[in-house]
Amino acid sequence: MSSIWNKGIQLSIFGESHGPAIGVVMDHLPSGEYIDLEKLITFMSRRAPKKEAYSTQRREKDMPSIMSGFLDGKTTGTPLCAFITNDDPHSHDYLKVSKLARPGHADYTGALRYNGFNDPRGGGHFSGRLTAPLCFAGAVAGQILERRGIYTGAHIAEIHKIKDDSFDAVTTTRDDIIELRKKGFPVLNDAKGRRMKNDIERAAQAGDSVGGIIECISVNVPAGIGSPIFDGLENSIAQLVFAIPAVKGIEFGVGFNCAKMLGSENNDEFYVNDQGHVVTRSNNHGGILGGISSGMPITLRVAMKPTPSIGKPQQTVDMSTMKEETLKITGRHDPCVVPRAVPCVEAAVNIALLSHMLEYPNF
């Protein structure tokens, strides 16, 4: 099943963008874990649309209704199931284009895969709307990890060639991550953030969209988490990150830049720090060696494509007649998905980390 992930934590995401509800089932969660619902809602609200020009005008409350696996504020150990209702769909926006293959969308490939029976409204099961249940699951996993001192944070590293400052891959702390989460527009350099917002708004006014890059870091992950070959920590993180629509690439540590380096430049030298722990002086490896955590911060960068729903005329094909058509998309769409995808990346990393941490001694 394509919408079920099972690597320690089993995750099942269901629903369509314009159906009655979307949701998630999490299995194999440890029992007796306290979940602060107020903090969970705060996490999910970071993914919700903002009342600014750079965000969609679709307004969803995204209030999850927990159906099972939760009692008196704690997990019961049985499957945790949450429903999120779709309160503000405008399905009529899609009636005229339901048979048109929208460029950049999964309309054509989805119709082929499901013999034309897929729900085309708002992208159906392929929609970014499905990141809301992913964020619910990631918020739950994050609280369980943070109780053990592990914190994950992300920021907008780049929007359309405008670059933010970068995380320090060695010294970033829990407090740095907590401060970053308080920002409405998650950047490290607020002046750069204002330039990014202006650029997004310019693209929107022109009927266009922009993409960008998200940088993510996890601190205090103990060494020895993960496995080699097919079950590596990078493998699990990448698989979950690619569940976020619009993700087109991921790199860990210095990523593709390592191809430009000498071995003497890329290698991170080991030493014993003041606490008696083996650490590295630099962190080009991004906290993972051989699929296993090294104890250094885990760092990754995620590339997001521009929102494919744009107001400019585009050429396409009517799949019912096989005739070429000109398409101009209307409706409510983000001119840039990157700001709202920041907590989604955090959520994906949290789920992967918790899944591997379950095998850790004395978890």
Any idea what DSSP says for residue 249? E
Rounded average pLDDT over 281-302? 98
Domain count, the chain: 1
pLDDT at 89 over 70: no
27-41, 78-92, 178-192, 338-352: least confidently modelled range:
78-92
Tell me the pLDDT tens digit for each residue of 161-183. Answer: 999 999 999 999 999 999 999 99
Percentage, residues of the chain above pLDDT 70: 93
Rounded average pLDDT over 264-275? 96
Instruction: Work out the mean pLDDT of the chain and round it to a whole number.
Output: 91
Tell me the pLDDT tens digit for each residue of 3-13. Answer: 999 999 999 99
Q: Let me know if residue 363 belongs to a domain.
A: no
Instruction: Give 252's Cβ-side CA count (13 Å radius).
Output: 22
How does 262-285 read in b/e, with b if 16+ C-beta sit within 10 Å? Answer: eeeebebeeeeeeeeeebbeebbb
Q: Let me know if residue 362 belongs to a domain.
A: no
Any idea what DSSP says for residue 29? P
Q: Let me know if residue 251 belongs to a domain.
A: yes
Q: How many other C-beta atoms are found inside a 10 Å radius of the C-beta of residue 261?
A: 12
pLDDT at 200: 96
Tell me the pLDDT tens digit for each residue of 311-350. Answer: 889 898 888 888 888 888 777 688 999 999 999 999 999 9
- Which residue did the predictor score with more confidence, 271 or 109? 271
Q: Locate the DSSP E strands across 73-144.
A: 74-75, 80-85
Tell me the pLDDT tens digit for each residue of 215-267. Answer: 999 999 999 999 999 999 999 999 999 999 999 999 999 999 999 999 999 99
Phi, psi values for residue 298, rounded to 5°: -85, 125
Q: Let me know if residue 76 belongs to a domain.
A: yes
Q: Which domain holds residue 271?
A: 4-357
Tell me the pLDDT tens digit for each residue of 135-159. Answer: 999 999 999 999 999 999 999 999 9
Rounded average pLDDT over 300-320? 91
Q: Let me know if residue 317 belongs to a domain.
A: yes
pLDDT at 124 over 80: no
Instruction: Give 251's Cβ-side CA count (13 Å radius).
Output: 12
- Which residue did the predictor score with more confidence, 15 or 233? 233
Q: Read off the CATH number of the domain in which 304 is found.
A: 3.60.150.10
pLDDT at 49 over 90: no
Q: Let me know if residue 178 belongs to a domain.
A: yes
Q: Let me know if residue 121 belongs to a domain.
A: yes
Q: Let me know if residue 220 belongs to a domain.
A: yes
Q: How many other C-beta atoms are found inside a 10 Å radius of the C-beta of residue 10?
A: 15
pLDDT at 95 over 70: no
Whether pTM exceeds 0.85: yes
pLDDT at 363: 82
